[in-house]
Amino acid sequence: MKNRAKKLLSAALAVSLSIPTAAVPVFGAATKDAQVEAKLVSSVDAAGYQTKADETLAISNASKLPAKFDLRDKDLDVVTPVKFQNPFGTCWAFGASAAAESSILTDLGFTNTEARELFGENGLDLSEKHLAYWAYHTVPATDSIHSQGGEGNALFKEETAANVYDNGGTDVLAHTIYSSGVGPVLEQNYPYFFPDKDGNNVKDPDLKDTIVDWDLPAESQYEYLFQLKDGNLLPVPSVKKLVDPMTGVKEWVEYDESATAAVKQELIRGRGVVLNYKSDHSMPGEPQNNAHMNTDTWAQYDDESVDFNHAVCIVGWDDTFSKDNFLTPPPEDGAWIVKNSWSTNYGDEGYFYLSYYDHSITALESFDFDLSDRSFDEKGLYIDQWDYMPSKANQLNIFELDSNTKPIRMANVYTARMDVDLNSVGITTVYPNSRVTIQLYSLGENGTLDSLSAEGFRDSKVVTIEHAGFHRIDLNGSYHFAKGEKYAVIVTEQCVDETGLKYVVHSSIGVSKQATEAINPVLEQMGRDTLNSYAVAVVNPDESYVNTGSKWEDWSAKRNEYEKIAAAEGTYEVDNFSIKAYGIPCAPDAPAKVKAKAKKNAITVSWKPVEGANGYCIHYGTDPENLEGELIVTGTKGKITGLKKKTTYYVSVHAAILDEAAGKVRIESEPSKIIKVKTK
């Protein structure tokens, strides 16, 4: 096998939980350009870079915690019922949803019993189908809101349900989707139901090809019930190192007690934690060889594997769980209490114990949702973003520039699509305890980053963020931007890794179509399943910018230079910077000069255009106090049909902001003057 084929194989193996994974190597030595180093980074490794002082503090804090803790305890009761992922390899979506459900219940202050009163008999139950489906569907090419048409995880084919739902994933895939305004939504809206031609729900993996309906409606892509506040990538207790850059092989190094302490801190906050590990089998129904799982005590310890094939959710711990409960005794007592997605028929009613010292443990994450501000319920959530390519793998998914000598910065430039009040910024950090400076500037209609001024300055905020991952940071206030006004969000990120203090600029990467097409014949020869998905990044001019010295450079051109240096040209797609702006849309003014003309069974209504509106709602009825009828149009004229003859109607018009992707009204103006008109 040629060297390039070996590299491509490593890249392919790192992107799916359905295949035993290996770390992807860094291609070539790191190259410095004007004191800036370009390289590829594993988010799992980066999330564990803590100073000795931080590690000592974490261990000290954990020593004050109880020896046993379980989110299922009756005084907490924030663990939702065990589910069943069959017939697909969607464990990553079930693990992430389980962690999100516990976090949301905690933040709401609800137990499962109370949640059932609010959400129905199933309580808080998030849709894994919605999450898994939109992880592998791109931004529509015809989407007029965004310039990112075609971006995302794309599929070679979508002929069967398995083509969509058997692509694997990790926790980081979930948070990159949630942060883009895609979910989470309730199970009752998009249930995990896959019917055959007779309407029976298919659960047997051997019958996946009999499924006849698996799609979701296009308008569901940008639906959400909760807003993600933090996706916290946690340090991993099982420390590994790369030993073969060509094949990506890793070996276990040591157990990190401070990482276990960090996971406990998230649990004590009421958050479930997604965890990836190597199970004796990766899907329910597959042969269980019991190499590492003691099915008498339902306790696993693996001191051989450094890869992973399954995702679950930690809901508690027990420091006193005896090492004698495992087939091979680990170094010490202690285990995580883990919720699986293989139904209550597996394990102890769906749960098992996983030793703190298991070598295969990797990729841990918790979620926190913003439940304090629900203004978006009524008006809708405004998001400006250029990074719609979800991060599928977390063995190697970050392209990084760093400097140990001087600040380097990244920025996204946006043009407000409507009048909006911006109130927060979403960023992604790569290392724990990062110190981040966020600056917000207005650029007017034609300004650039090279013309920043005190007049255009809106806000600056400095925060230190405990964990790597996605974070939505509230600004110091709410800042109004008019439709058509350009603005810039500038981010400076400072952190510490094994080289010391440094500044970083980074973006997500994914395995390209070209690389995937090259590796699939190799996988086929090895008797493995071929990959059905690949990454697409759409990076246009005037979206992201990088400053590695004294001037701003357009990332759409600059990234190509760095791709050749560190990202093995053609192997990876390098995305825009993950800097998002969030706000609440402002209602446009009410329409003026509304006129109505009557016919036998119809009324034609017209009005003057309203600045900032991209649609209008005509409300009508026979009772001026209750205009029950509604007609949505995008122009300044509408025809109401199907009316009664010789009947008096009342009509008013609202200027509106339409969600073009979902085809729904997001926010309406006050009504125009009510017009009285009688049909002929």
Full strand arrangement of the beta sheet holding 603-606: 595-598, 603-606, 637-640
The whole-number pLDDT of residue 286 equals: 65
Task: Answer for the pair 102, 72: CB distance below 8 angstroms, yes or no.
Answer: no
Residue 18 has pLDDT above 60, yes or no: no
Strand 299-300 relative to strand 351-355, pairing: parallel
Q: Which residue has the tokens 């003691």?
A: 294
* Cα 657 from Cα 43, distance rounded (Å): 38
Instruction: Give just the sign of the alpha carbon dihedral 270, 275, 280, 281.
Output: positive
* Cα 646 from Cα 201, distance rounded (Å): 52
What percentage of the chain reaches a pLDDT higher than 70? 88
- How far from the centroid of its chain's Cα atoms is residue 285's Cα? 29
* Cα 178 from Cα 184, distance rounded (Å): 6
* Cα 221 from Cα 182, distance rounded (Å): 6
Residue 100 has pLDDT above 70, yes or no: yes
Strand 409-415 relative to strand 544-547, pairing: antiparallel
Using alpha carbons only, give the angle 646, 649, 653 rounded to the nearest 5 degrees. Answer: 145
The whole-number pLDDT of residue 9 equals: 40
Task: Name the strand (E) or helix (H) holding 44.
Answer: helix 43-46
Q: What value does the mean pLDDT take over residues 656-661?
A: 70
Residue 144 has pLDDT above 90, yes or no: no
Strand 335-339 relative to strand 351-355, pairing: antiparallel
Residue 4 has pLDDT above 70, yes or no: no
Residue 268 has pLDDT above 90, yes or no: yes
Concatenated DSSP letters of 276-318:
EE--S-SSTTS----SSEETTTTEE--SS--S--EEEEEEEEE
* Cα 290 from Cα 155, distance rounded (Å): 35
Least confident of 336-340, 523-527, 644-648, 652-656: 523-527
* Cα 506 from Cα 493, distance rounded (Å): 10
pLDDT tens sequence across 469-503: 999 999 999 999 998 999 999 999 999 887 788 99
The whole-number pLDDT of residue 560 equals: 80
CA-to-CA separations, 227 to 115, 129, 224, 416, 436, in angstroms, rounded: 18, 18, 7, 21, 21
When the pLDDT of each residue in the chain is averaged and rounded to a whole number, the result is 87
3-state secondary structure of 151: coil
The whole-number pLDDT of residue 113 equals: 87
* Cα 321 from Cα 255, distance rounded (Å): 18
Least confident of 20-24, 234-238, 388-392: 20-24
Task: Answer for the pair 179, 426: CB distance below 8 angstroms, yes or no.
Answer: yes
Residue 17 has pLDDT above 70, yes or no: no
pLDDT confidence tier of residue 563, bands split at 50, 70 and 90 = low
Task: Answer for the pair 139, 152: CB distance below 8 angstroms, yes or no.
Answer: yes
Residue 32 has pLDDT above 50, yes or no: no
Residue 564 has pLDDT above 80, yes or no: no
Q: What are residue 659's DSSP bridge partners?
A: 664
Which two tokens mark 94? 């079930």
Q: What value does the mean pLDDT take over residues 245-252?
A: 68
Task: Name the strand (E) or helix (H) holding 515.
Answer: helix 513-525
pLDDT tens sequence across 37-82: 888 888 888 888 888 888 898 899 888 999 999 999 988 999 999 9
Task: Answer for the pair 236, 256: CB distance below 8 angstroms, yes or no.
Answer: yes
Q: What value does the mean pLDDT take over residues 540-552?
A: 93
Using alpha carbons only, give the angle 628, 186, 165 rounded to the nearest 5 degrees. Answer: 125
Which two tokens mark 312? 């679950």
Closest CA to 650 of 632, 671, 627: 627
The whole-number pLDDT of residue 185 equals: 93
What percentage of the chain reaches a pLDDT higher than 90? 62
Helices marked H in 321-469 — which ranges?
376-379
pLDDT confidence tier of residue 14, bands split at 50, 70 and 90 = very low
pTM exceeds 0.75:
yes
Neighbours of 141 (CB within 10 A): 10
* Cα 536 from Cα 237, distance rounded (Å): 33
> Side-chain half-sphere of 102: how many Cα atoms within 13 Å?
32
Largest CA distance in the chain: 89
* Cα 21 from Cα 360, distance rounded (Å): 11
Domains of the chain, first to last: 22-46+375-585 (no CATH), 595-678 (2.60.40.10)
pLDDT tens sequence across 110-143: 999 899 888 888 889 999 999 999 999 999 887 6
Task: Answer for the pair 143, 221: CB distance below 8 angstroms, yes or no.
Answer: no
pLDDT tens sequence across 585-633: 888 889 999 999 998 889 999 999 998 788 899 999 999 999 999 999 9
Residue type, 573: E
Q: Is 478 exposed, middle or buried (0-12, 13-18, 19+ CB in 10 A)?
A: middle
Closest CA to 412 of 478, 505, 479, 481: 505
pLDDT tens sequence across 293-335: 999 999 999 999 888 889 999 999 999 999 999 999 999 999 9
The whole-number pLDDT of residue 13 equals: 40
Which position has the higher pLDDT, 372 or 461? 461
